Amino acid sequence: MKLNFNGKLKWVGKQGTLEMFYDNARRKWYAKIPMVVKVNNKPKGKMKAGIDLGVVNLATVAVQDGS
């Protein structure tokens, strides 16, 4: 099966199985293709940071230099 699509591919990697489904509420067809993509996990700097996701404050961040 060959499908035309709008736009450009955003990722390069191993493609999975195409899944197509119909949304009855919107009366539209959708397709999705899972992809396995390599991610570069090499840090860009030497500083470290901690993030606390809280209930009162959405997020609190502490950076290694104290700011």
DSSP secondary structure letters along 19-31: EEEEETTTTEEEE
- Residue 66 has what pLDDT? 61
Q: Where are the beta strands (DSSP E) in 1-67?
A: 14-15, 19-23, 28-32, 35-36, 49-52, 60-63
pLDDT of residue 44: 81
**Across 28-51, average pLDDT:** 86
Q: What percent of the chain has pLDDT over 70?
A: 96
